[in-house]
Amino acid sequence: MNFLHALIFGLVEGITEFLPVSSTGHLMLTAKILGLGQTEFLKTFEISIQLGAILSVVALYWRKLLVNFEVMKRIAAAFIPTGVIGLVFYKIVKTYLLESAPIVIWSLLIGGIFMIAFEKWRAGQPEIPEQRLEDLPYKKCVAVGIFQALAMVPGVSRSAATILGGLYLGLSRKAIVEFSFLLAVPTMLAATGLDLFKNYGAFNGGEAAFLAIGFITSFATAIFAIKFMISYIKKHTFMAFGIYRVAIAILFLLTAFLG
């Protein structure tokens, strides 16, 4: 890895973390394009720079996240099932799934098809009235946390799993998107902290500089991505993201087949 690679990874992470397209999947495919093997450092690097994107949520939503106790309790309720499932399957995910490009590509494809079908299914239904995060039922918050755990499979997308899961549960579009953003904070803090604790020896001082570049870049880029997403959902469905997922998956499948 070099400084340009770290910058590219930061941009990819910041753009994709809060869009329903799978940041982990895009980081893995970016590594493939750049010709970088999935070393222990790279896997830890990819997880750690997500923290930069996550802190952008804190910068934009700190009042809801740190001051509104009712919202905090609902975020905690949603995080519990994700945290438990994550601890149970951490080793399997890190050892096997994070090294499998085919899993990422097929997850992108299947997830994209599901997203398109889901939006077509919802097309004839009335839009759910706006809801306040502090009024969301706890049972639905816990269920969103379970949906989020599906994103342990690279390519599924944490945002897609939580947003589509929340819509299925009857949450309003804006409410579940904002809830998904906020839920990302404890989830990725825990995932990054656990990974750094277990693999702190995976990088040296020079490689720590790459981590800093990726971290800062992802933070700055994610702020724009969050604002875009909030603006986008006011007038659009997630159909375009589903089409994008299918298109990029087919592109990589064709590249692998022809290569």
User: Domain spans of the chain?
Assistant: 3-258
Identify the residue with better confidence: 257 or 110. 110
pLDDT band with cut points at 50, 70 and 90 for residue 199? low
Report d(CA 158, CA 172) in Å as an integer.
18
Burial profile 70-90: b = 16 or more Cβ within 10 angstroms, e = fewer: ebbebbebbbebbbebbeeee
Share of the chain above pLDDT 70, in %: 90
Identify the residue with better confidence: 92 or 199. 92
Share of the chain above pLDDT 90, in %: 40
Lowest model confidence (mean pLDDT) among 34-38, 40-44, 177-181: 40-44
Lowest model confidence (mean pLDDT) among 41-45, 178-182, 201-205, 223-227: 201-205
Cα distance between the two ends of the chain = 24
Report d(CA 148, CA 145) in Å as an integer.
5
Burial profile 197-227: b = 16 or more Cβ within 10 angstroms, e = fewer: eebeebbeeebeebbebbbbbbbebbbebbe
At 236 the pLDDT is 86
Q: Compute, in degrees rounded to 10, the torsion defined by CA atoms 193, 194, 200, 205.
A: -30
| Closest by Cα among 169, 158, 156, 160 to 122 | 169
State the average pLDDT over residues 19-30. Answer: 85
At 259 the pLDDT is 47
pTM for the whole thing?
0.83
Degrees (nearest 5) of the Cα angle 175, 180, 185? 130
At 38 the pLDDT is 67
Lowest model confidence (mean pLDDT) among 39-43, 200-204, 209-213: 200-204
Q: Compute, in degrees rounded to 10, the torsion defined by CA atoms 198, 200, 201, 202.
A: 90
pLDDT band with cut points at 50, 70 and 90 for residue 97? low
* Greatest mean pLDDT range, 136-140, 149-153, 247-251: 136-140
| Most distant CA atoms of the chain, gap in Å | 56
At 127 the pLDDT is 77
| Closest by Cα among 23, 21, 22, 19 to 9 | 23
List the structure tokens of 27.
Answer: 């980081």
At 219 the pLDDT is 93
**Tens digits of residue pLDDT in 99-145:** 677 888 889 999 999 999 999 988 877 778 889 999 999 999 999 99
Q: Is the pLDDT of residue 217 over 50?
A: yes
- Cβ neighbours of 243 (radius 10 Å): 14
